[in-house]
DNA sequence: CTGAAAGCGCTTACAG
DNA sequence: CTGAAAGCGCTTACAG
């Protein structure tokens, strides 16, 4: 079992040369070291027959580097992050790097464990998407000299960041929502649902939302427009059920994330008409949404573009150009207006 | 940069003991080797201060094993596979194993490259979901003595398999579809859309579909009911556009996979009424579907259950019990009937 | 109670 | 043109 894997030593014994020669040939440096064609071919042939695969643990130990890049996302079950993970994977592999994908479920302990693991694996660079323990994660990376690029989040403490301009996008999105409400000759309060107050991205989106409201001179009556809820469909559903059960006739809802949208749709199934009276702005996108009969405008962040921006920063070297926030493009997707 | 990572040697020098002692303490075997409490505490303290993380490449090289388990899925952007990947990840980590997640995009070369990579990484076991190069993948794993568990696919050549009983589930699903068509007092042909003829899982689903048809004495008029298309939303959309453009009034469609369903929904946006005349059976599930106003019944495979079945086979040891096909449970989700 | 030594598989100066 | 030796960081018999 254990001794099954062929090594360069096994090849050298089979061919009748030294491990040095085998190593030179297999790393494609045969002519550099002027190995005879005959020896070279015998080695290559034997390696193929034995189904030789180099032991990366040995190689990495030797080099002190791993060629591994890692991405840490909160979850893979949401399209935006899975699209990001896939784009990451493809970019890594086309650049000869090995991609490590980890989902940490918005959990600080899991995130810090993942970083420790990356350090142990000698990971060269970690791309952290929207992390719960942002500042500890960054600190740990810095201490271990693990390169880090932050994606889809703002990082207070410097470092490289590629993200949607949450404030601006939320402002644009909200403005469109207000226009659609006006076009439908509706009126009433507009709520922002989803995310927790300590989540920095939610904070920025909320600020953009509020800025759009005040630009349109919409004073919010009574309570605050922010209805917090974790990024969890079941809990979001309950929040919507409560909201719609109230007598108040609101005109619009800013739905912060797909997880929250999923909660809305769970409620929508049983209360289609009530839900269709309201206009929605969704900060996120899923292709299936286009088949849902609601009146919405949504922000489609482009995970692929974001990822390739981040990757090109990595490939250029993190020191080139210094720390910066790079804003990724996004588009607005709008449903046909209802009624 | 490179010399930044502390090693056990660095700790031993700082503490003033040998690397042996450090190694013993850090692997939690201090009392086994009767290290003095004072030495032990100094070592632990120093390791913490230096932010020591063991070099896994060195450790794995030493042990000849990696503690890595891998999963190979066709894509992460579909809910079923991302759910599977997440479940895998959680199970691996709670069992002290490191999860490697790879998406190979239904591409044979990518799959075989991934397997080679797993071998190089000394991966202990690979879970392969629904692979395009099934038999070559299995053969490569066997040659390299890489344990393999097949998920969500049947494997002709033996080995461990955890899957939905595609034939039976497709038969049950199709039967429900026919019942719903009858209940709506509709009639007409029923098509099976999606997947390619050389895809073994599609084959089995198609057989189950045909069995249900013939059990209901439905003779298919004219052409074959199988409309192949790759698992790609754009291409599936064109196929549906063609089908609906024909004059023939079919009563039902078996939608083989979510990717194909996404294609249907793209068409549905522009042709709601036409699509609503037809009943659907979908071999797959997404929560967003429940918000779509179509008449459907769908199979919800349970990625978590499937994964934990597969993982418990792994934990028990692949030799225990011998090769078997394990069928995972699934459920039927039905929309409200239309009209 | 603690240390010196060997070895996991690989690569790379350094000799010849 | 090819080989012997050292060393990456770790663990584990084996001595003492």
Domains and CATH numbers, chain A: 8-52 (no CATH), 65-164+304-328 (3.40.50.2300), 166-302 (3.40.50.2300)
Tell me the sheet residues that pair with B45: none
Give the pLDDT of residue B3: 42
Asked if the model's pLDDT at residue B339 lies above 60, the reply is yes
Give the span between the Cα atoms of B331 and A38, in whole angstroms: 62
Reading the block at residue B191, the tokens are 């098509």
Give the pLDDT of residue A154: 73
A82–B76 C-beta distance less than 8 A: yes
Quick one: average pLDDT of B216-235? 80
Give the pLDDT of residue A222: 54
- For residue B49, the number of C-alpha atoms closer than 13 Å in the C-beta half-sphere is 10
Give the span between the Cα atoms of B170 and B159, in whole angstroms: 24
A53–B144 C-beta distance less than 8 A: yes
Give the pLDDT of residue A272: 85
* A221-275 pLDDT per residue, tens: 556 899 999 988 899 999 999 999 987 788 999 999 988 999 999 899 888 888 9
Count of C-beta atoms within a 10 Å radius of residue B29:
11
Q: Edge-to-edge strand order for the sheet containing A160-163? A: A98-103, A68-73, A125-129, A147-151, A160-163, A325-327
| Contact list, B58 vs chain A (CB under 8 Å) | 57, 61
- Which of A2, A55, A292 comes nearest B120 by C-beta? A55
B61–A58 C-beta distance less than 8 A: yes
| Contact list, B75 vs chain A (CB under 8 Å) | 86
Q: Which are the contacts of B301, defined by CB distance < 8 A and separation ≥ 6?
A: B80, B152, B164, B284, B285, B328, B330
CA-wise closest residue to B304 among B6, B79, B150, B23:
B79
Tell me the sheet residues that pair with B15: none
Give the span between the Cα atoms of A298 and B322, in whole angstroms: 52
Q: Are A262 and A137 in contact (CB under 8 A)?
A: no
Tell me the sheet residues that pair with B129: B151
- Shortest CA–C1' contact from A6: which nucleotide? C9
Give the span between the Cα atoms of B82 and B89, in whole angstroms: 10
Give the span between the Cα atoms of A195 and A223, in whole angstroms: 17
Q: Of A283-287, A294-298, B36-40, where does the model show the most confidence?
A: A294-298
Quick one: average pLDDT of B139-145? 88
Give the pLDDT of residue A306: 94
Q: Which residues touch strand C (CB under 7 A)?
A: A 5, 7-9, 19-20, 23-24, 26-27, 29, 52, 54-55, 58-59, 61-63; B 16-21, 33-36, 39, 58, 61-62, 64
Give the pLDDT of residue A323: 66
Give the pLDDT of residue B1: 34
Token pair 């695969």 is found at A53
Reading the block at residue A115, the tokens are 């970083």
* A15-41 pLDDT per residue, tens: 888 888 888 888 888 777 778 888 888
Give the pLDDT of residue A3: 42
Q: Which are the contacts of B64, defined by CB distance < 8 A and separation ≥ 6?
A: A2, B122
A55–B57 C-beta distance less than 8 A: no
Long-range pairs of A38-47 with CB within 8 A, sequence gap ≥ 24: A39/A15, A42/A15, A43/A11, A43/A15, A43/A17, A46/A11, A46/A14, A46/A15, A47/A6, A47/A11, A47/A22
Q: Evaluate if the CB of B9 falls below 7 Å from strand D.
A: yes
Q: What is the dihedral angle through the alpha carbons of B36, B37, B43, B47, rounded to the nearest 10 degrees?
A: 150
């Amino acid at each position: 079992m254990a001794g099954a894997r062929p090594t360069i030593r096994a090849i050298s014994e089979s061919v009748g040369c030294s491990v040095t020669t085998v190593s030179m040939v297999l790393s494609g440096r045969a002519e550099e070291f002027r190995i005879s064609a005959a020896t070279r071919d015998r080695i290559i042939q034997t390696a193929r027959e034995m189904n030789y695969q180099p032991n990366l643990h040995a190689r990495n130990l030797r080099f002190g580097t791993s060629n591994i890049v890692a991405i840490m996302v909160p979850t893979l079950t949401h399209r935006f992050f899975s699209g990001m993970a896939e784009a990451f994977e493809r970019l890594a592999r086309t650049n000869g790097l090995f991609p490590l994908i980890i989902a940490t479920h918005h959990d600080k302990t899991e995130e810090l464990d993942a970083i420790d693991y990356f350090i142990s694996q000698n990971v060269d660079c970690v791309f952290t998407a929207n992390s719960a323990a942002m500042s500890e994660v960054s600190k740990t990376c810095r201490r271990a000299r693990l390169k880090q690029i932050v994606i889809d989040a703002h990082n207070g403490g410097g470092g490289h960041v590629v993200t949607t301009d949450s404030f601006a996008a939320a402002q644009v999105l909200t403005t469109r929502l207000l226009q659609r409400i006006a076009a439908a000759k509706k009126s009433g309060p507009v709520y922002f649902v989803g995310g927790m107050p300590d989540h920095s991205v939610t904070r920025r989106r909320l600020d953009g939302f509020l800025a759009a409201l005040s630009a349109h001179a919409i004073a919010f009556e009574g309570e605050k427009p922010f209805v917090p809820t974790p990024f969890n469909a079941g809990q979001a559903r309950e929040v919507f059920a409560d909201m719609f059960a109230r007598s108040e006739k609101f005109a619009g809802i800013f739905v912060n994330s797909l997880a929250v949208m999923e909660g809305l749709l769970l409620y929508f199934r049983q209360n289609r008409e009530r839900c269709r009276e309201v206009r929605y702005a969704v900060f996120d996108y899923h292709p299936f949404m286009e088949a849902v009969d609601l009146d919405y405008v949504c922000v489609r962040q482009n995970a692929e573009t974001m990822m390739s921006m981040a990757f090109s920063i990595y490939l250029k070297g993190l020191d080139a150009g210094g720390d910066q926030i790079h804003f990724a493009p996004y588009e607005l997707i709008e449903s046909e207006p209802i009624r």
